[in-house]
A and B are shown apart, each in its own frame.
Chain A
Amino acid sequence: MNMNRKTENVGVTPGFDSGRRRFLGTLSAAAGVTLAPGVFLYGAGASRPVVARELDVAVSGAARWGMLIDVKRCDSGCNECVSACVEENGLQGHGRPATDAQWIRKVNVRDPDTGLSQSLPVMCQHCAEPPCVDVCPTGASFKRADGIVLVDRHRCIGCRYCMMACPYKARSFVHEELEDQKPHTPRGKGTVEGCTLCVHRIDAGGQPACVEACGKTGGKAMLFGDLKDSGSEISQRVASYATQQIRADLGLDPGVRYQNL
């Protein structure tokens, strides 16, 4: 497969710095792997229920939350994951796409040689070695023991180094005062934010809103689970089929993996 895929982004302001999106251009060549026919990823319905932990005990490194996205089942016209995220976290913008918060977006990629077009959701990849955490001067950007990368806005000073450091452009800055935030998703002016993997749902034993929406009304392309639990569906899938991380060459070991890309 050609390594110089042309990229374009959907739902983002025209004139967006495409150079920073070139990471998609190096999506590796694993798409050529043929899967067994009839093998599909299933979202909410078929996955094992995530067992809720004791809520008064700190999270541990025994789990690592991750996601597997089957690009073959992701339709370019479908935006269910994005809408679900906006609804769940109260991300309604001001109609200014250049500055409105965006925790997950649909990205369309096309191979200019073969004409193959694909669509995939991209959000915080919850890296094992997150560069946003490395550069944060106040310790606001941090990785929880179970692998979820978050911004502690009690400490965030809004310097936006993390936004520069993130190769996935996964973080947003809140430019304006907000009202009526969701009680489970505090967010406010002057701080950086990004996908929390719906940590409030995970702590309650649920799964992220995007995965749930994809399973219900989308293409059932997203699977959420514990990558360290060998019995979990996601672990079995990544052990059975070729999957890839975006910009795996950076060695960040993202927790979000893609299949059939």
Chain B
Amino acid sequence: MTLCRISIVLVAVLMTWAGLGEAVAAMEKESGDGGVALPVIPRGQGDNCVGDIEFMRRNHMTVLRHQRDETMREGIRGKQYSLKECVACHAVMGPDAMPVTVDSPKHFCRSCHDYAAVNIDCFTCHASRPEPGIE
């Protein structure tokens, strides 16, 4: 009786250990250098981004900041870079088939910013997802 119980516990511990090992292996694979898991960056809609991807990764903040003043102060709209368009094109759907907000770690901007440990101030004022029902 007791032997049986011990063997069940042993099997359970072994199984958990094996599972844990697999998970750790998977994380190491994702993160490359064994640190924080790499961000998941889903493709945006359409064929290509408004800029070269390498350029956008490094300079998106600069172009957005430059253009926001033109839009706000001079009414220049519809130019190449627009936060609203980024948010619309890179919307990530949640389990309810609605675009997630920046509250979700899956949010396009947030997944990278979490990885880089950089705060995003944009979404304290700007909408972090397209208006539901409007593409």
Contacts and interface: CB of A to CB of B under 8 A. Distances in A.
Interface residues of B, number: 23
Interface hub of B68, B72, B76, B103 (most chain A Cβ within 10 A): B72
A211 interface: no
B93 interface: no
A59 B73 CA distance: 9
Contact of B125 (A55, A146, A181, A184): A181
A57 B79 CA distance: 10
Contacts of A58: 70, 74-76
B131 interface: yes
A59 B125 contact: no
A59 B70 CA distance: 10
Given A56-B76, A58-B75, A150-B72, A177 B127 contact: no
A142 interface: yes
B134 to A, nearest CB: 8
B101 A180 contact: yes
Contact of B75 (A182, A184, A203): A203
A50 to B, nearest CB: 14
Contacts of A142: 73
Given A55-B76, A58-B75, A58-B76, A183 B130 contact: yes
Chain A interface size, as a band, is 20 to 34
Contacts of A189: 124
Contact of A144 (B69, B73, B127): B73
Interface in B65-92: 68-70, 72-79, 84, 87-88
B84 A55 contact: no
Nearest to A59: B75
Interface in B93-133: 101, 103, 124-127, 129-131
A177 B124 contact: yes
Interface in A183-237: 183-184, 186-189, 191, 199, 203
Given A181-B126, A182-B131, 18 more contacts: A55-B77, A58-B70, A58-B76, A59-B74, A146-B75, A152-B72, A153-B125, A154-B68, A177-B124, A178-B125, A180-B101, A180-B127, A182-B127, A183-B88, A186-B125, A186-B127, A187-B125, A203-B77
5 tightest Cβ-Cβ pairs between the two chains A and B: A188-B125, A58-B74, A59-B75, A55-B78, A186-B125
Interface of B: 68-70, 72-79, 84, 87-88, 101, 103, 124-127, 129-131
